[in-house]
Amino acid sequence: MFSLNKEKIQESKKIGSGKFSTVLPYQKEATDERWVVKVVEAKNSNQFKLQLENVVASSNQSHPSIVPVRGYAFEEQGSEGWKTYVKMPRMKSNLKELKDDYTNKKNTISKDQMIRYVYSIASALEYLEKKRVPHQNIKPSNILMDPNGKVYLSDFGAPKFASEEERTKVPKELGGAELYMAPELFTADKPLKRSALFKADVWSFGAVFAELGSSKPKPITPSLSNDDKAKLIKEIIADLRKNYGQTVPDLISSALSIDPAQRKSFAEITQALEAKYSSELVKLGLRDKV
């Protein structure tokens, strides 16, 4: 918890917003641009409970590629529901904006950048898996970037389906997360077990980096049949091989196996990268010299 000073919230300088959230600068002095608060609204106590669980889970993590949550506060809004305030360092951009930038300039992300992002995020997810915390909301706008180009995972917690019916009909609007969600999340007839959620995270990780590296990104839309998904994924991997060698595309291909049992784990993904790119990772400052 932290003691929220509402005078520091710069309501008029909104940085961005999501389906239930707004991100605002949190600063008293114009020159102090270190912090933001993310304000999340809950309409009912169930939503509030889930949001709070997610915020507590994220504030308990400490890893160089996970956004550090510096405190949270909440407020009851009478019959309107609840507001949660999450304080974090202000970041500069995210992988969605980065990709849009590159696409506009008809440019592709370099191999070194790709290695840096894939390795940073895989090791953050390996750390979470060791702590038994599934992320469940991996998408490009939840991978933030600082002014030095370092990337950080943020926003734990599954985007919630409005209803069971929505889930089986393949929702169109989950704040964009649905484009990165594993196929089994749409077809399972009951909620997945915790161990299966890590495999679902592996798929999302694969989907994010498949898109980031593609020269003509096509979303792996949930409504495609499994055969059409597999065909599209093959095309994407062939495209990635043009720029990123063998290892990274192979890992992305494994992550995007329709059968969850065929997907490599995050530990296997980081190990494969360490074996292949040991000197690059040292140069990028992501590993100590071995």
Are 25 and 35 within 8 A, CB to CB?
Answer: yes
The 3-state secondary structure of 137-193 reads: CCCHHHEEECCCCCEEECCCCCCCCCCHHHHHCCCCCCCCHHHHCCCHHHHCCCCCC
Which residue number places its CB atom closest to Mg ion?
155
Does position 149 bind ligand ADP by CB under 6 A? no
C-alpha distance from residue 58 to each of 106, 115, 157, 225, 229 (Å): 36, 25, 9, 34, 32
Q: Considering only CA atoms, which of 148, 141, 150 is closest in space to residue 95?
A: 141
Smallest distance from Mg ion to CB 141, Å: 5
| Selection from 107, 181, 97, 102 nearest residue 140 by Cα | 97
Angle at the Cα of 162 from the Cα atoms of 158 and 36, rounded to 5 degrees: 50
The nearer residue to Mg ion, 53 or 235, going by C-beta atoms, is 53
- State which amino acid sits at residue 80: E
Beta carbon of residue 241, minimum distance to ligand ADP (angstroms, whole number) = 30
Contacted by 91, from ligand ADP, Mg ion, none: CB < 5 to 8 Å by type:
ligand ADP
Which of 146, 166 has the CB closer to ligand ADP? 146
Check binding of 178 to ligand ADP (CB under 6 A). no
Q: Token match 């919230």: residue? A: 9
**Rounded to the nearest whole angstrom, what is the least distance from the CB of residue 278 to ligand ADP in the complex?**
31
Q: Which two tokens stand for residue 101?
A: 């930038």
Q: How far is the CB of 94 from Mg ion (least distance, A)?
A: 8
Stretch that binds Mg ion, among 64-72, 152-160, 236-244, 277-285 (CB under 5 A): 152-160
Q: Does 142 bind Mg ion (CB under 5 A)?
A: yes
69 contacts which partner out of ligand ADP, Mg ion, none, CB within 5 to 8 A by kind? none
Long-range CB pairs of 54-62, under 8 A, 24+ apart, other chains included: 54/155, 54/156, 54/157, 55/84, 55/86, 57/133, 57/156, 57/157, 58/86, 58/154, 58/155, 58/156, 58/157, 59/86, 61/127, 61/128, 61/131, 61/133
The rounded Cα 95 to chain-centroid distance in angstroms is 9
Instruction: Check residue 120 for interaction with Mg ion (CB under 5 A).
Output: no
**CB 69 → Mg ion: shortest distance, Å?**
13
217 binds, among Mg ion, ligand ADP, none (CB under 5 to 8 A by kind): none
Asked if 78 and 64 count as a contact pair (C-beta separation under 8 A), the reply is no
Distance (Å, rounded) from C-alpha 2 to C-alpha 260?
Answer: 40
Size of the site for ligand ADP (CB under 6 A): 18
Residue 90 interacting entry, from ligand ADP, Mg ion, none, C-beta within 5 to 8 Å by type: ligand ADP
Could you say which residues in the range 8-67 bind ligand ADP, by CB under 6 A?
15-18, 21, 23, 36, 38
Q: Which one of 155, 201, 211, 239 is in contact with Mg ion (CB under 5 A)? A: 155
Looking at the Cβ atoms of 41 and 274, the one nearer to ligand ADP is: 41
Q: Which of 68, 81, 175, 245 binds ligand ADP (CB under 6 A)?
A: 175
Residue ranges that bind Mg ion, judged by CB under 5 A: 142, 155
Residue ranges that bind ligand ADP, judged by CB under 6 A: 15-18, 21, 23, 36, 38, 88, 90-91, 94, 141-142, 144, 154-155, 175
